[in-house]
Structure 1
Amino acid sequence: MFTRRQILSASAAAAVLPGAVACATMPGSASPTGFVRREGVSFTLNGKPYRYTGANAWYLPWLGAAADYGDNARLGRELDRLKADGVNNIRVSASAELSPLTNSVRPAFRDRGTDYNETLLVGLDRTLAEMARRDMKAVLYLTNFWEWSGGMMTYLHWVNGGRYINMNDPAHPWPEFADMNADFYRSPEAVALYHHYIRAVVGRTNTLTGRAYRDDPTIMSWQLSNEPRAAGDLEKVRQNQPAFLTWVNSTARLIKSIAPNQLVSTGSEGLKGSGERAEIVADTHRSADIDYVTTHIWPGNWGWLDRQNMAGTHANAKAQTADYIAKHVNIARGLNKPLVIEEFGYPRDGDLYDPSVPTTMRDDFYETIYQAALNDARAGGPVAGTNFWAWNGEGRAAHPDHRFKSGDTAWLGDPPHEPQGWYGVFDTDTSTRARIRTHAAAMRALTV
């Protein structure tokens, strides 16, 4: 574990980042202000409803790093664009494991040892400081079920003698990757390494502001993982659910013990990551230490949308999306917890990747989700926020085939295992950004 704890004084930090949000205490209350709270099916912020329009931008700490792969000026520009569009919540990766898996991102936050990558951690520090200046909230996930940031398969690789499976390896068709990954939850050695990293990051002090992470209201929620699931095959999901729930609940308790003022969430896809069983989704989110329900929506990955016939299957994709949201609203109501639609993505017209390609059907898909969220929020329901996947901003694919290659620093919201430009929103996507702005204004109107 890194031992550097030399930080700037509070006064010096204020001089460097004069817009950083202070963590104050309300008169007569022991609870600090500025933190998002959960009250039944709602979030609150300083006693008022908190509903938000958000984005995913996993790569922001890489931009924030003072290194050849960083771009601090671009970090500020991207946050300014998002702020201008009404985005006030960003889901960011706070982990990446140095991995032998194909398409896993480098550099990473950690290797198998406990001497973590301070350069990238300072990139996370800078991301949080810059978000605080813009009055934005962060959701930080702490590992990944998938291979593109190393994730659980890499933890297993570190403790099982070097064995691993690459996602999409023809020699190991689905669900072999997911089923092997589920061994992570039953590996005390792998979970111990993961928990060590959590203690280091959740217990970290920001080197730029001097504020302990646990005292920073910029952090809305710590997330156990990106898209954790008990397994791929339904029967294995059932078999692994006890170990999975032990991991969920013990990790949530650990985070709460370090950062009791911040929310904890799973990062789950919901039904699609739970064998399509509502009772499994509910059990995953039942713990009192899990503050809200999450769901992700991917019509082009799940067969609702035929990407070779987008026009002919678009209506079906929208209908399935509306039904999927309604099912998760029911689950959240049953648990008396908020619901966040924290990932949703749709291809550009023709399933092409270049920024010049129109986004007609994507815009309509976004409208479907935004309208469902707004209607539910107006009715006092549990849908508290949305985070589209993902913000590409000024990032552009570095290669004609739109594929990420090791060493690339043209960071996009489309992660390294996917075509660059597939689902991400570019700064030039004016029609999509207009829909985001309109929805953000409607959601803000519900909080005053």
Structure 2
Amino acid sequence: MMPATDRRGFLGGSILLGGAAVLGGCTTMGMKSPGFVVREGMALRRDGQPYRVVGANMWYAAWLGADAAFGNRARLVRELDRLQAVGINNLRIMASGEEGPLANSIKPGFTRPDGTANAPLFEGLDFAMSEIAKRGMTAVLVLSNFWEWSGGLQTLLWRTTGSFIDMGDPAHPWPAFADATAEFYANDDAVALYNEHLRRVVGRTNSITGQAYRDDPAIMSWQHANEPRPGGSDAAIARNAGAYLDWIDGTAALIRSLDGNHLVSLGQEGTQATNGREDLVLRAHERIDYLTAHIWPLNWGWVDGDDLPGTWPTAAQNTEEYLGVHERLARRLGKPLLVEEFGFPRDAESYSPGATTEFRERFYRTIYSAVEADWQSGGPIAGSNFWAWNGEARAAHPDARFRDGDGAGGTAYMGDPPHEAQGWYGNFDTDEAMLALIRQHAREALAFA
């Protein structure tokens, strides 16, 4: 994803129905299947009721769902059961992955280096969506990535130009990677490759259920990409703004031409993606169904991992202010807002599942309190997705670093992508304090429904 100074490189049925299904695993026999999530002004609704998103990020769901050496369907089922048991009703997952030369990109991908489709991963997405639907959950399907960890837009540029920049390369310090990747929007050949994958996924029929994706209510929205930015430097943002906005509008129109049933989302971090330019955030969402905000206090320099107690007050204040800015922008557009990524390290920035989570708990409570306040007042914040779910996975090596081949058997994939320390931000199945906090927030969602 991104350097620690600037992040970031990257659920369920209606919560009303989710309450009945939390302990059961599957939708009750004979119960009417939940319908599509729709937008009504600043609210999301499903089957005529408010849809309160109590979500998680689980980018690797399709990888686990693959009937292949890198998959593990039994584990995917266990993880979904765990998430449902704590009240999660929405998952944000990757429906893309572009193989190429970037040092930190995931392998395998949905498309191989030559652009051909990798069938097992598409079928893995099919299996994941079939299991998500069984639990009355919904999913946000992400169609590419601004960052390198799944290949993303930089890899599509490489396929058309033959050149690329690695994130974190000392020869190309920040913001070189972001500025270079933003050249994607004006590259017609790279956009054509993106559109080819988009058509392949959005127009797909699920091989498990036989249902066309466009007719599947378990899809909450299609998302352009994970954290698409117009650049990293002010100069690049100004230079690329027109092409960026044209790509956003054109992609939204293409999705809707293929699928008129589902919401369309952008996946933007908010003003962090535009170096504070609110005008670009507003314009980017004119043809998008809801706004998104991502919040990363450590990566954005709001908090020091070695001094969480001393720097937490600044992180708390900045988090509340960032939420306030985006709530105001959502009200101005008259659309919902989802806090679809938010992450915080364990105490002392430990990666160990045994480390305490006092300050992560404080951070989650800050987010959840803002969400619950909007639920109570009728504000635009429809919910949130924490980053991320690690579940039963554990780091395979003492240094907590992912190595090629660790994905074999589907046991090592976790919410922390392979290029990051395994255990940095994700919640494990043994994080009882975190699970209790999430469970209580899900109960509040029921109370406000």
* TM-score normalised by length of structure 1: 0.92
Match for residue 39 of structure 1?
Answer: 40
CA distance in 2, matches of 1:295, 1:22: 38
CA distance in 1, matches of 2:235, 2:115: 36
Q: 1:140-197: CA deviations, max 9, x gaps?
A: 100000000000000000001x211100111101000000101100100000011011
**Letter aligned with residue 234 of structure 2:** L
**Letter aligned with residue 57 of structure 2:** N
Give the one of 395, 398, 409 matched to 1:397.
Answer: 395
Q: 1:105-126: CA deviations, max 9, x gaps?
A: 1110002545311101110000
**Letter aligned with residue 345 of structure 1:** G
Alignment pair present for 1:86 and 2:84: no
Match for residue 282 of structure 1?
Answer: 282
Q: CA deviation at 1:306?
A: 1.1
Match for residue 309 of structure 2?
Answer: 311
CA distance in 2, matches of 1:366, 1:245: 32
**Residues 283 and 417 of structure 1: CA distance in aligned 2, closer, same or farther (over 3 Å):** same
**Residues 114 and 106 of structure 1: CA distance in aligned 2, closer, same or farther (over 3 Å):** closer
Report if the CA contact (8 A) 1:23-1:217 is conserved: no
Match for residue 295 of structure 2?
Answer: 297
Match for residue 132 of structure 1?
Answer: 133
Q: State, as a whole percentage, how many aligned pairs show the same letter.
A: 52
Match for residue 426 of structure 2?
Answer: 424
CA distance in 2, matches of 1:20, 1:157: 48
Residue 438 of structure 1 aligns to a residue whose secondary structure is helix
Report if the CA contact (8 A) 2:114-2:159 is conserved: no
Match for residue 4 of structure 2?
Answer: none
Listed as ranges, the gaps of 5+ residues in structure 2 are 1-24
The 5 A counterparts of 1:254-293 are 254-287=254-287, 290-293=288-291
Match for residue 440 of structure 1?
Answer: 442
Residue 302 of structure 1 aligns to a residue whose secondary structure is coil
CA distance in 2, matches of 1:298, 1:230: 19
CA distance in 2, matches of 1:350, 1:214: 45
Alignment pair present for 1:412 and 2:414: yes
Q: 1:10-62: CA deviations, max 9, x gaps?
A: xxxxxxx995999989xxxxxxx600000100001011111121000000111
Aligned length: 421
**Letter aligned with residue 376 of structure 1:** D
Residue 300 of structure 1 aligns to a residue whose secondary structure is coil
Match for residue 344 of structure 1?
Answer: 342
**Letter aligned with residue 309 of structure 2:** A
Alignment pair present for 1:335 and 2:333: yes
Report if the CA contact (8 A) 1:98-1:150 is conserved: yes
CA distance in 2, matches of 1:231, 1:23: 48
CA distance in 2, matches of 1:277, 1:432: 34
CA distance in 2, matches of 1:153, 1:22: 47
**Letter aligned with residue 418 of structure 2:** P
The 5 A counterparts of 1:116-195 are 116-160=117-161, 162-195=162-195
Residue 299 of structure 2 aligns to a residue whose secondary structure is helix
CA distance in 1, matches of 2:60, 2:207: 19
Q: Which deviates more, 33-42 or 133-142?
A: 33-42
Report if the CA contact (8 A) 1:86-1:436 is conserved: yes
Report if the CA contact (8 A) 2:42-2:331 is conserved: yes
**RMSD of aligned C-alpha atoms?**
1.6
CA distance in 1, matches of 2:425, 2:261: 34
Residue 56 of structure 2 aligns to a residue whose secondary structure is strand
**Letter aligned with residue 412 of structure 1:** M
Q: CA deviation at 1:277?
A: 1.4
Give the one of 354, 357, 360 matched to 2:358.
Answer: 360
Q: CA deviation at 1:408?
A: 1.1
Match for residue 245 of structure 1?
Answer: 245
Match for residue 221 of structure 1?
Answer: 221
Match for residue 202 of structure 1?
Answer: 202
Q: Which deviates more, 217-226 or 405-414?
A: 405-414
Q: 1:115-140: CA deviations, max 9, x gaps?
A: 31110111000000000110000001
The 5 A counterparts of 1:37-116 are 37-116=38-117
Report if the CA contact (8 A) 1:21-1:132 is conserved: no
Report if the CA contact (8 A) 2:26-2:136 is conserved: no
**Letter aligned with residue 68 of structure 2:** A
CA distance in 2, matches of 1:114, 1:424: 31
* TM-score normalised by length of structure 2: 0.92
**Letter aligned with residue 423 of structure 2:** G
Residue 43 of structure 1 aligns to a residue whose secondary structure is strand
Q: CA deviation at 1:235?
A: 2.3
Q: 1:381-404: CA deviations, max 9, x gaps?
A: 000010000000001111111011
CA distance in 2, matches of 1:256, 1:149: 25
